[in-house]
Chain A
């Protein structure tokens, strides 16, 4: 009798565990970017339709975020835009620099609210730090932000982004800036 009860409890436990696994959230592993898209790799457990929809929504959120980052990048002040400016215009902070920094801060805030956006944000910071057309000071702030965010979200960092390849002046400036 004891053996029968033991077998029944075992079967019930297995059924409960199986049901739990089916209902649990699938783990999404974010891998390196492929053709500028982030790939979601589902585990072997079958994913219910409603969860697939949820994952797709998240993917589209990330895509929207990346589009937004591209738009921000295109508004960054360039060295070329400083040409033909009067001495008075560039005596103090150059036009557009502070506004761009504000946008960087908004990106940092967004990632704090939704850390899934961190990989895209980190790549954005690094692209900005690497862009030789941009103002040196802005590149330094981007690199500082990349350094701080890499520490905060170590798994989100794209290991192809190597800060050692950046110019010395940008690196020195970034290092001298206060961290977040």
Chain B
């Protein structure tokens, strides 16, 4: 419990810390009252698993995350200019390199608490209404709706934060007797469901195979990215696809450095590390990359990824 408190304290204060050390590097400044930071140095070194996470799911995720540390990742910039407007993968992820330790830190900075599907967080929150909650305007994303049932994985912390921002409320989430104030999407509360180990799984490949670990890690990085950005673009919301495969759904991306882009970039980088993968596993990984990348609008642009946060 002491460890949980420590982790949550870091999460709660991350937004505040980020406000203090933010460095502006964008033409699109964060709205007044909301500031972010680039490459924040949050002392996160592990994930906390809530008791609602089944032990087998926890075991797989722990193995997945530790796998990052042993990966031999290709550091060559692939030819993806047509998608990413000449930005390098490192710039899009806001990392200096693709060393395993860098990627691990990227993840720990954004994913701090994992909760299970059985946890009904709506029964665990209380709210304080603020009369002067700055800039409640948001880009819509119904997929972000806090009532969306968890099938694979969702960024609950970001969803609650966005809801609070719209309602001019600050929510407190009670987890195992510890209160987490949702002062920033960077609170890093991720909810996982059984779908992460079924629908997200490669048929015929063991749950603990490297390829299946890669599939889950890609999803984890996708959700981790929902901790970032600010203003109307807070939590990198998805956009409605006007046409194409998912026309009418919030399943597209208007940011070349948003969650789908980050997922595709990560998968492409770690693909070569899957040296023992079967042809079927490789094809499944290719399909996952293609799917994420296909979600990007051709007009997608680079957006300020500094996370927002504030004090009570």
Contacts and interface: CB of A to CB of B under 8 A. Distances in A.
Nearest to A92: B152
From A85, A136, A180, residue with most partner B Cβ within 10 Å: A136
Given A102-B202, A141-B286, A169-B294, A92 B222 contact: yes
Interface in A77-104: 79, 82-83, 85-95, 97-104
Contacts of A175: 79
Interface of B: 78-80, 82-83, 142-143, 145, 148-149, 151-153, 199-205, 215, 219, 222, 238, 244-247, 249-251, 268, 271-272, 278-284, 286-291, 293-294
B279 A106 contact: yes
Contact of B287 (A79, A91, A100, A169): A100
Interface in A47-101: 79, 82-83, 85-95, 97-101
Contacts of B250: 87, 91
Taking chain A's interface residues, is the majority helix, strand, or loop, or is none over half, making it mixed? helix
A109 B288 contact: no
Interface of A: 79, 82-83, 85-95, 97-106, 108-109, 112, 135-138, 140-141, 144-145, 169, 172-178, 180
Contact of B283 (A87, A92, A141, A176): A141
Contacts of A82: 245-246, 249
Given A92-B219, A141-B283, A145-B283, 10 more contacts: A87-B250, A95-B199, A105-B283, A109-B278, A109-B279, A135-B245, A137-B287, A141-B287, A176-B80, A178-B271
A172 B148 contact: no
A105 B279 contact: yes
A96 to B, nearest CB: 10
A87 B290 contact: no
Contacts of B203: 98-99, 102
Contacts of B151: 88-89
A102 B271 CA distance: 15
B200 A92 contact: yes
A174 B79 CA distance: 12
A92 B197 CA distance: 13
